[in-house]
Amino acid sequence: MIHASDLIKYFGGKRALGPVGFEIRTGETVGFLGLNGAGKSTLLRILSCDLRPSGGSFSIRGIDGVRDPHAVRQLVGFLPEVPPLYGDMSVGEYLRFAGLLRGMSTEQVAARVPEVEQLTHTANVHGELIRHLSHGYRQRVGLAQAIVHEPEFLILDEPTKGLDPAQIAEMRTLIRGLKDRHTVLISSHILPEIRETCDRLLVLRDGVLVASGTPQELSARLQSRRIAVTVLPNHDSLEPAAIEASIRRVHGVRNVTSTGRVDGALSFVVEAASDIRAEVCRTLVGEGHGVIRLDRADQELENVFLELVQGASSASG
């Protein structure tokens, strides 16, 4: 669906993005992660043909976005960080306007607007002026205008910004419901949002792509490996500290944390420089303990993100 090569953007003498290159397959939901000022919004504006790159190229469904931006815009639905709403229009009027602006016929708009209002849960405010709506409803209307023309590629820039927890959960549900109809690119620095909605992640740091993959694949890049261990001690009175001391003797162990006791079994998380599950198992079994769980612990996406962006600029923009 999308191919980008060596995209770069300067504002005056300041490099805001690039060079960046990546591909997104049809039907994927991909998340762009990065601190404020990492270049996420700049990249999304380029892909939506709202901003011309200083160099490089990109195409959407084979159409060159630099040479033929108008044709690319027909394929793209864009919800920017601040939705492009007209407060003096009613919701229905605005969605009709957005559809006509995208080249839809009057008949197409008449048929499509009720569908979009149903999808985005805005049918009950169809006749209300947008300036009277809550922030949550404005976000929904912003999403509705992005999909009214049934674009193949949907770009969402911080779609849950400013929403309360209930509204965030609802917006995530709406986005997940769009995955079957659109290729979706979401920009965010809110990690649960990315984890709940995306198939694959692209991580930007100082305008440069530093990682790509699923959360599990990115976890594998961390310098530390985490192992979950559950042990049935060789006698009931044995304290966690004794098992912990045994594990710490294994070469390569950096840290051991006790995570509790259930039905006599003791659980630990072990941090190491490499995968040392076999060595840990041999040590514990050799001391007569029963190893009832020994597995890679899921790396928290927060840890992955922090390590990948370590040293990133904290400048906003």
Token pair recorded at residue 260: 């509790």
Euclidean distance between CA atoms 73 and 51, whole angstroms: 12
pTM, rounded to two decimals: 0.70
Span 57-78, average pLDDT: 91
Span 76-86, average pLDDT: 90
**pLDDT tens track for 15-54:** 999 899 999 998 888 988 887 788 888 999 999 998 999 9
User: In this model, does residue 313 exceed pLDDT 50?
Assistant: no
**pLDDT tens track for 243-253:** 899 999 998 89
Q: What is the pLDDT of residue 304?
A: 66
The closest alpha carbon to 120, from 101, 152, 98, 147, belongs to 147
Q: What is the pLDDT of residue 297?
A: 63
**pLDDT tens track for 249-286:** 998 898 898 888 888 889 998 888 777 889 999 999 99
Q: Tokens 């993100």 identify what position?
A: 305
- Three-state DSSP at 4 gives strand
Span 169-197, average pLDDT: 80
Span 47-76, average pLDDT: 91
**pLDDT tens track for 104-114:** 999 999 999 99
Residue spans of alpha helices (H) in 234-287:
240-248, 277-286
Q: Are strands 14-24 and 29-33 parallel, antiparallel or unpaired?
A: unpaired
Q: Of 37-46, 142-151, 230-239, 301-310, which has the strongest mean pLDDT?
A: 142-151
Band (219; pLDDT cuts 50, 70, 90)? low
Q: What is the mean pLDDT of the chain?
A: 85
Q: What is the pLDDT of residue 315?
A: 36
Q: What is the pLDDT of residue 316?
A: 34
Q: What is the pLDDT of residue 199?
A: 84
| 217 vs 153: which has the higher pLDDT | 153
User: In this model, does residue 312 exceed pLDDT 80?
Assistant: no
- Amino acid, single-letter form, for residue 172: R
User: In this model, does residue 151 exceed pLDDT 80?
Assistant: yes
| β partners of residue 59 | 3, 64
Q: At what angle do helices 240-248 and 277-286 cross, to 10 degrees?
A: 130
- Helix (H) / strand (E) containing 55: strand 55-60
Q: What is the pLDDT of residue 310?
A: 61
Q: What is the pLDDT of residue 224?
A: 59
User: In this model, does residue 317 exceed pLDDT 50?
Assistant: no
